[in-house]
Amino acid sequence: MSVIVVLIGFSLFVAVGFLIAFLWSVKSGQYSDTYTPSVRVLFEDEKSKKEKEIVKETKIKEENKLDN
């Protein structure tokens, strides 16, 4: 049964990890603004739009090459 001491030590170690993660998340301000990120995530990044277009164009070009 004394193996349980090791297991508990390990479980506490994991739990302390979670506690530290929580404290860190508070400290780094993840709870100071809970609204803006939810909006920000919806903004289309124009760079990625342009990249997509470039990717599309290159695909079309490649296809054309293959056809020829």
Interface ranges with other proteins (CB under 8 A): 1-2, 4-5, 8, 12, 15-16, 18-19, 22-23, 26-27, 31-36, 39-40, 42-44, 46
Separation CA 14–CA 43 (nearest Å): 37
Which residue from 23, 3, 27 is spatially nearest to 11, judged by alpha carbons? 3
Looking at the Cβ atoms of 32 and 64, the one nearer to other proteins is 32
Looking at the Cβ atoms of 40 and 65, the one nearer to other proteins is 40
Looking at the Cβ atoms of 7 and 66, the one nearer to other proteins is 7
Separation CA 23–CA 39 (nearest Å): 25
Report residue 11 as tokens.
């479980």
